Amino acid sequence: MKKLVAAVLLSLFLVPSAFAANLDDLSSFLGVTKATLIAELKSGTSLQDYAVSLGIDKQALRDYINKGPNSVFSILIQQDEFAQGLADLLGLTIEELRNELAAGETPATLAKSQGVEMVIIKGYLKTEMDEYRAAHPDTRTKPTPKN
């Protein structure tokens, strides 16, 4: 996990103009300045360790990374083709899916309530998110949700 976080953060620094807003969002989430965040990460502290030292729960950090407004999933769910595929797997309409997600549900909770095996949803999400990341290398890279 630490190597993945380091790779993600390295990608943030390699293309700073593309990710300035994401660093602003992340530093705001952590309650620190962007300069403080960058300095802490450059010192070798992992994002997770730094967040925990600030009193932020590990799960809250994971949720921010995987479900935040800048996450790949948040971008993809706005695309009808992706949303339709996920909705079809869950036996929902696109509107129902988006409403449930807006109400705080996750693909995992929806799969459980709809009686769908999570392995099917995970496979779909991983494939689609990996394809999106490959086609959009300027997109902030994050781990695939493990719900």
| Domain C-terminal end among 67, 86, 114 | 67
pLDDT of residue 44: 86
Shared domain check, 12 and 36: yes
Q: Using CA atoms, how far apart are residues 124 and 122, in angstroms rounded to an integer?
A: 5
Question: Is residue 141 in some structural domain?
Answer: no
Specify whether 63 is located in the same domain as 78. Answer: no
Q: Residue 56 and residue 51: Cα distance in Å, rounded?
A: 5
So what's the pLDDT on residue 26?
81
- Provide the percentage of residues in the chain whose pLDDT is more than 70: 71
| Residue 109 predicted with pLDDT over 50 | yes
Indicate if 50 and 13 belong to the same structural domain: yes
In a domain, 112, yes or no: yes
Whether residues 47 and 104 fall in one domain: no
Residue-averaged pLDDT of the chain: 76
d(CA 62, CA 110): 19
- Do 6 and 63 belong to one domain? yes
Report which of residues 91 and 125 the model is more confident about.
91
The amino acid occupying position 21 is A
Residue with tokens 């590990």: 58
- 61 and 81 in a single domain? The answer is no
**Cα separation, 41 vs 44, whole angstroms:** 5
Q: Are residues 77 and 43 in the same domain?
A: no
Residue 22, pLDDT score? 65
Q: In whole angstroms, what separates CA 5 from the centre of its chain?
A: 12
- Total domain count, the chain: 2
Specify the pLDDT at position 135. Answer: 79
Full domain range(s) for residue 115 = 72-135
Distance separating alpha carbons of residues 17 and 147, to the nearest angstrom: 31
CA 130 vs CA 26, 60, 125, 137, 144: distances in Å: 22, 23, 8, 10, 8
As a whole number of angstroms, the distance between CA 112 and CA 122 comes to: 12
Q: Is 69 left (phi over 0), alpha (psi -120 to 50) or beta?
A: alpha
